[in-house]
Structure 1
Amino acid sequence: MTRFFFFLLIIFFGCNQKPSLTSKQILEKSIKKHDPYNNLKSLKFKLRIQEPRINNPERLSIVTLNNSTGEFELQRNRDTHISTHKIDKNGDAITFLDDKIEKDSLLIKKYRLQPKRNSNYRRFYQTFSLLPMSLKNEKFDLNDNVVVVDFNSKKAFKLSIELQKPIFSKSLNLFFSKSDYQFLGLEIMYPENSGREGQRVIFDGVFNIVDVNFSRFHHWLNLKNEYLGSDIFVKELK
């Protein structure tokens, strides 16, 4: 009986033992895994990205980014049109529809052609799509509490972070593989707006450019795990 009781205590304390690593250490290990030579700061690419959504299954983007200069270009299909959203090395933004500056206010609103939106497009592809290593360039508060959970059927460290500058929201839950610190995905939360539902994004696969390893697939779900869409990095263009 005594041995049995002792065995139960071992199981209890083993299952409830807190992770030995801090949230900061887990994040640093994951960033090192994804960007071992600190190449993100000079990363340049031109990528073809399929972005099917429930209401827009044919969405396709071609994204050009130069992290050294800040230059950015997004080309995206808009019905029978192509929009082009640019930011030059001086930070000046301009947008075209079918290679022309559109004057029709209805089309500008419909296709989101306002040049002021371009910085948000760049932030999505430069920061969100390149998580977790892009956090090196962000200001944020990282919760000290580390929880081990199941995320997409994998054991994961769950870290909570509050960004100074939001990506959709300031409040994110980040998930890292317990076995090798691979970034598994995140939850976008809206604690300041209880009526707005959060999203869960599963990061999977590997896309490698100059030893920067980011996720090839981003699958968007709501918190009920209902599918919303995907971002699929198809190939690098020259």
Structure 2
Amino acid sequence: MKHLFLLITLCYVTISQAQDITGSELLSKAIAFHDPNGNWKTFDGEFKVLMESPNSSNRLSTISLNTPQQKFSLLVEKDGDSYGYHFDKGICNAFLNGSNEISEEDIKSYRLTCDRGETMKNYYTYLYGLPMKLRDPGTLLDDSVQKKTFNGKEYLVLKVTYDENVGNDVWYFYFDPETYAMEVYQFYHDESKNDGEYILLEGLEEINGIKMPKTRAWYMNKDNKYLGTDILSKS
């Protein structure tokens, strides 16, 4: 009877702790899993992302990021061409097939503007910096942690919104309740319309001591339409 009482007490404490955890505490535990040594803030490395989608040829992107020196570069290889951007302390240069001399026609065709480059820089540093990027200024964490079942598994879910000058989308991040690994995230432009997408994460690839999701499969919220998969690898 004593052992049974102890077991019941332990189960109650576990459930109680899961219920009482705050959004900030959940994020701290998730960051401790993915970036146990705090390497993201001084990240200096390179990785590749292969994008597969049902209506397009494969695209291979090589991302180089040196946070201390404020450098970022993106090299895209697709259909026999290579193009991308270099950023060095905010100074942007675009290139196509090894040359910075790009015609107006090709700038338009390949969308090789620095505005586009800035968008891609923010895209890759945000997605591959998660969940650590949720500590960035302008990120608003919901204090209440939800429990949701997704694809038959129960998760601890963190709702995130942003200051107006940062973004208008609503995001939900799904964490394993035991390991605190990030396994799903989802965003809406207008949640009442069930728009936006959800992303399923599988496997882990360790890059510079950070456990990043190996694959990201993208789907539409409204009809579960499959959009594509990103596959991460070391450079």
Compute the TM-score of the two structures, normalised by the length of structure 1: 0.83
2:33 is matched with 33
RMSD (Å) for aligned C-alpha atoms: 2.4
8 Å contact from structure 1 (residues 18, 147) kept in 2? no
8 Å contact from structure 1 (residues 50, 61) kept in 2? yes
Residues 78 and 111 (structure 1), Cα distance of their counterparts in 2 relative to 1, 3 Å cut: farther
8 Å contact from structure 1 (residues 84, 99) kept in 2? no
Compute the TM-score of the two structures, normalised by the length of structure 2: 0.84
Separation in 2 of the partners of 1:74 and 1:18? 40
Pairing 1:87-236 to 2, within 5 Å after superposition: 87-88=87-88, 90-164=89-163, 165-166=166-167, 170-191=169-190, 194=193, 197-223=195-221, 224-234=223-233, 236=234
Residues 104 and 78 (structure 1), Cα distance of their counterparts in 2 relative to 1, 3 Å cut: farther
Residues 116 and 177 (structure 1), Cα distance of their counterparts in 2 relative to 1, 3 Å cut: same
- Equivalent pairs, count: 219
Separation in 2 of the partners of 1:118 and 1:181? 33
Structure 1 gaps of 5+ residues are: 1-14
Separation in 1 of the partners of 2:208 and 2:58? 29
8 Å contact from structure 1 (residues 71, 87) kept in 2? yes
Q: What amino acid sits opposite 1:207 in the alignment? A: E
* Structure 2 SS opposite 1:179: coil
Separation in 2 of the partners of 1:34 and 1:134? 12
Moved more, 185-194 or 206-215: 185-194
Separation in 1 of the partners of 2:229 and 2:169? 22
* Structure 1 SS opposite 2:84: strand
Structure 2 gaps of 5+ residues are: 1-14
How far does the alpha carbon of each residue in 1:32-68 deviate from its partner, in whole angstroms, 9 at most, with x for none? Answer: 1111111111112221210112222311111111122
* Structure 1 SS opposite 2:133: helix
8 Å contact from structure 1 (residues 138, 163) kept in 2? no
8 Å contact from structure 2 (residues 205, 214) kept in 1? yes
1:22 is matched with 22
* % identical aligned pairs: 25
